[in-house]
Chain A
């Protein structure tokens, strides 16, 4: 599956794997919205460590989910983007949603 969902104390994590383009984003959008409508989590974290390619369709995917989460006052975070994914997020103004995790986070704290 291109997305795996996990719940923990931080809410819902959606771990994406593979390529995010316009074609792949369509299924990812349906999968994620189904999970969000069901669980209405306070926080949705996109775990990007498994993403091997992303174009602006990935930005559309994240912005769209941000809109969904807004309906119940939830928020979005992004973790573990590769250098490439981060480049795309910076270009689109989504870089502030990136949170550092684990050791790296402590270092930057």
Chain B
């Protein structure tokens, strides 16, 4: 079974109740590579963090679109792109430091990027103030059998 070039693009409204929907969509798409339960859970956690960032930070006082693109590349890797058109991040390097949060009052632990980084194989963050933030992650799935 070849999965080359298979992809899925969805746009979600930035309501917090859509966080679980985003996780489920990503997990369902990744299932075609026959990942382990652990790998699926890594993907769900990473997607959850990225989508939550869009909602909590990108669209702080508004509801906007969250674009999620999932792609199979190299037959064993899930490419995940999650983008908002929100406020953007002024200092990405600082935002990516563990425990850094702009929302301590809302009990954000400041671990979103740390989770994405440790549960995937690659994380890239591109942001422009006033234009939005795009997070790109790669998750390799072990070949079994």
A residues near B, CB below 8 A? 19, 21-23, 25-26, 29, 53, 55-57, 59-61, 63-64, 84, 88, 91-92
Contact indicator B16/A22 (Cβ below 8 Å): yes
Residues of chain A with a CB closer than 8 A to B16's CB: 21-23, 26
Contact indicator B20/A25 (Cβ below 8 Å): no
Q: How far is the CA of A22 from the CA of B49 in the complex (A)?
A: 9
Interface of B is mostly: helix
Residues of chain B with a CB closer than 8 A to A26's CB: 16
Taking A53-B44, A55-B45, A55-B48 as contacts, is the C-beta distance between A22 and B55 under 8 angstroms?
yes
Contact indicator B107/A29 (Cβ below 8 Å): yes
- Residue of A whose beta carbon sits closest to that of B53: A22
- The minimal Cβ–Cβ distance linking A58 to chain B, given in whole angstroms, is 9
B residues near A, CB below 8 A? 16-17, 19-20, 23, 41, 44-45, 48-49, 52, 55-56, 106-109, 111-112, 114-115, 118
Contact indicator A56/B17 (Cβ below 8 Å): no
Contact indicator B115/A55 (Cβ below 8 Å): yes
Q: How far is the CA of A36 from the CA of B83 in the complex (A)?
A: 38
Contact indicator A63/B19 (Cβ below 8 Å): no
Other-chain residue from A22, A53, A64, A92 in contact with B111 (beta carbon distance below 8 A): A92
Q: How far is the CA of A46 from the CA of B118 in the complex (A)?
A: 25
Contact indicator A91/B114 (Cβ below 8 Å): yes
- Residue of B whose beta carbon sits closest to that of A26: B16
- Residue of A whose beta carbon sits closest to that of B17: A23
Q: How far is the CA of A88 from the CA of B82 in the complex (A)?
A: 21
Contact indicator B107/A19 (Cβ below 8 Å): no
